[in-house]
Amino acid sequence: MTAPVNARRWTNWGRNQESIADVLTPADIDEVATRVNQAVESGRRIKVVGSGHSFTAIAVADDQRMFVHRLNRLVSVDGPLVTVEAGMSLAVLNTVLAEHGLAMPNLGDIDAQTVAGAISTGTHGTGIGHATLASCVEAVTMVTAAGKVERYAVGAPEFPAARLGLGALGVLVQVTLRCVPAFTLLAEEQPMPLPDVLAGIDQWLPEYDHVEFFWYPYTNRTSLKRNRRVEQDDRPLSRFRGWLDDDLLSNTVWQGVCSVGRRFPAAVPALSAVAARALSARTYTGRSDQVFCSPRKVKFTEMEYEVPRAALPEVLDALATIMEGLPFKVQFPVEVRFTGPDDVWLSHGYGRESAYIAVHQYLGSPYEPYFRALENVCTPLGGRPHWGKLHYRDAESLRAAYPRFDDFLAVRDRLDPHRVFTNEYLNRVLGS
């Protein structure tokens, strides 16, 4: 392999992954194909990078790093089917959709990712009527290792693999999404004891469109969030209240709380209790994407595990015990979300209703014993790690968790037999 000659250093958003590699910034699909053909002819590799919001090494390049941010245009709108170039960010996508009276049916809690990165890693929101963003994909256009531009739509044998492909199958250049008419959400956010939340979940999940909660370590307190669709945007959040809760308290003040907790670990339980009381109840309406997404300015490292929904109480009980036994303190609340089943081969929610448990640690704080302990609890329950969040599983372990794992590998063997698009992470989770 030719060593990088125009190498540049790259670091992900969470600052826990970095690499030095040659940089490619194609301006259009033809240039992507040209670069891929050149890589194949010279025996080099290409790793596509989106916005760098994955905590795993999925986007780490050891040879050539390709950014597709210049492929960011709207291609077409055909009723609810919207085709965009794959380097478009979710933030821009949401604006484009709103201009056409459309919206994504569900979103995660940030919008910084590229469309390609979001669908390729299994990004998801919450709500048992929804699954990963990849489940909204109706077709993808991809430059394969053969240097050809191929379109895979519903019904194509490659499609179930290509719409959540981990970047292992080719370079996504266009994505067609099935969208919905623009809608307004009524958000109800309130503090609630954890036992009450767990007692109410089975009632709220079918009653509300979206339900999630944050559990504060060393307390029995949570912040519960429930959203439902409404006709009128008649209770907008005031600019001051939005700044107070989402910017000052959730980012500026929280940054200070985490910094103090990292310096004085013994204070963390008390700080967690104070933080749990700081955000008061609020009810408001807003455009769907603006309710779903909020700014995340405080840096952290994250693991997220999907488990069958019925296993959630067992995991949370185990987490409380894990936290008490750690040689350090857990500063961030535990985030819990829910999705329904889908048929995307490498979707975390493939074939079942799911609960997602996300654990975080502040930038620079220890995390591995905490994360490994959660993984040891979730794995025997059939748990599946989020592809973009830290985990320690390998291909042998993951094969048992995904019924269509070998089908995905067969598509990979056809589309990239010489592993032009691989890296160390993909070699670990898929095999070389």
CATH 3.30.465.10 segments of the chain: 74-181
CATH 3.40.462.10 segments of the chain: 184-385
Is the pLDDT confidence value at 149 over 50? yes
Mean model confidence pLDDT for the chain? 94
Give the model's pLDDT for residue 245: 63
Give the model's pLDDT for residue 238: 74
Q: Nearest CA to 56 among 419, 418, 390, 420?
A: 390
Residues 6+ apart with CB under 8 A from 29: 71, 141, 143, 149, 173, 174
List pLDDT tens digits, range 215-247: 999 999 999 999 999 999 998 887 766 655 666
Per-residue pLDDT, averaged over 313-335, amounts to 96
Per-residue pLDDT, averaged over 381-387, amounts to 98
Give the model's pLDDT for residue 271: 77
Give the model's pLDDT for residue 255: 80
Give the model's pLDDT for residue 264: 82
Q: What is the β-pairing status of strands 102-103 and 180-181?
A: antiparallel
List pLDDT tens digits, range 86-125: 999 999 999 999 999 999 999 999 999 999 999 999 999 9
Q: Which CATH architecture has domain 184-385?
A: 3-Layer(aba) Sandwich (3.40)
Give the model's pLDDT for residue 243: 55
Percent residues over pLDDT 90 in the chain = 86
- Round to whole Å and give the CA distance between 27 and 201: 47
List pLDDT tens digits, range 117-137: 999 999 999 999 999 999 999
Give the model's pLDDT for residue 246: 66
Q: What pTM was computed for the model?
A: 0.94
Give the model's pLDDT for residue 258: 79
Give the model's pLDDT for residue 237: 82
Is the pLDDT confidence value at 372 over 90? yes
Fold classified for 74-181: 3.30.465
List pLDDT tens digits, range 336-367: 999 999 999 999 999 999 999 999 999 999 99
Q: Which helix (H) or strand (E) holds 239?
A: helix 239-242
Give the model's pLDDT for residue 2: 47
- Round to whole Å and give the CA distance between 79 and 81: 6
Per-residue pLDDT, averaged over 78-89, amounts to 98
